[in-house]
């Protein structure tokens, strides 16, 4: 049960892939064991439950992700560049940890109901504060439209960024960075031609 074994890391990566592909509940411990070429009981030499596998996967991912966000905020780039950096960092996370992002997207809501995964809600709150800060700062600084419903824009942003994990292919021709730039183009300037209408 030592946390440093390479075999253990391997099994965790396998579990993450299966959780992402089939969903947490639909993935059985036998599925994971089969993929690893061992019997289901043998998994319990490395982990003490299926739940603790998901826990470890999500914890590691979120710690890394929010570490990156903290660095971006600390750099104090101003609202617009901070927004761009956070979006780029999020797409980068989709590129490097697609399975973890998928699990976070698809299972967080159900898992968060359990006491053990209460940190998921905390992270959500943290994320929401981050976006609200960026947006309100931007509106105040005059770089974002002042008629924005900040709370609504936050939801759109959050969803828009993460939901890309459903179709993004890390090995495809479209790099995460390019997708991020396209997204930012739409988000910041819209898809319509011509001058913006005044007011709302």
Q: How far apart are CA 29 and CA 15, in angstroms?
A: 9
Please say whether the beta carbons of 42 and 34 come within 8 A. Answer: no
Q: Which of residues 98-157 bind its own copies (CB under 8 A)?
A: 106, 109-110, 142-146, 148-149, 152-153, 155-156
Of 166, 170, 175, 177, the one binding its own copies by CB under 8 A:
166
- 170 interacts with its own copies by CB under 8 A: no
- The token pair that represents 135 in the structure block: 């947006």
Q: How far apart are CA 175 and CA 171, in angstroms?
A: 8
Q: Which residues are CB-neighbours of 191 under 8 A, at least 6 positions away? A: none
Q: Which stretch binds its own copies (CB under 8 A): 46-54, 91-99, 114-122, 191-199?
A: 191-199
DSSP state of 197: P
Among residues 96, 177, 82, which one has the least CA distance to residue 130?
82
Cβ proximity to DNA: between 27 and 90 the closer is 27
Site string for its own copies, 50-89 (x = CB under 8 A): ------------------------------x---------
Among residues 86, 175, 98, 199, which one has the least CA distance to residue 134?
86
Binding site for DNA (CB under 7 A): 2, 5-8, 27-30, 33, 36-42, 44-46, 48-51
Residue 23: contacted member of its own copies, DNA, none (CB under 5 to 8 Å, by partner type) = its own copies
* Smallest separation, CB 32 to its own copies (Å): 17
- 26 interacts with its own copies by CB under 8 A: yes
CB atoms within 10 A of CB 105: 17
Query: What three-state secondary structure class fits 146?
Result: coil
Residue 8: contacted member of its own copies, DNA, none (CB under 5 to 8 Å, by partner type) = DNA
């Amino acid at each position: 049960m030592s946390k440093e074994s390479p075999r253990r890391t391997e099994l965790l990566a396998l579990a993450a892939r299966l959780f992402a592909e089939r969903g947490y509940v639909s993935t059985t411990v036998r599925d994971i064991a089969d993929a690893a070429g061992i019997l289901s009981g043998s998994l319990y030499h490395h982990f003490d439950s299926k739940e603790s596998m998901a826990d470890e996967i999500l914890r590691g991912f979120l710690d890394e992700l929010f570490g990156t966000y903290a660095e971006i905020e600390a750099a104090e780039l101003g609202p617009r560049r901070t927004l761009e950096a956070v979006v780029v960092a999020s797409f980068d996370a989709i590129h490097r940890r697609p399975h973890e992002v998928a699990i976070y997207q698809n299972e967080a809501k159900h898992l968060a109901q359990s006491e053990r995964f209460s940190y998921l809600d905390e992270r959500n709150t943290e994320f929401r504060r981050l976006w609200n800060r960026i947006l309100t700062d931007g509106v105040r600084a005059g770089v974002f439209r002042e008629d924005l419903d900040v709370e609504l824009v936050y939801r759109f942003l959050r969803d828009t960024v993460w939901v890309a994990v459903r179709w993004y292919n890390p090995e495809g021709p479209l790099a995460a960075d390019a997708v991020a730039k396209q997204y930012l183009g739409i988000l910041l300037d819209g898809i319509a031609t011509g001058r913006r209408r005044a007011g709302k």
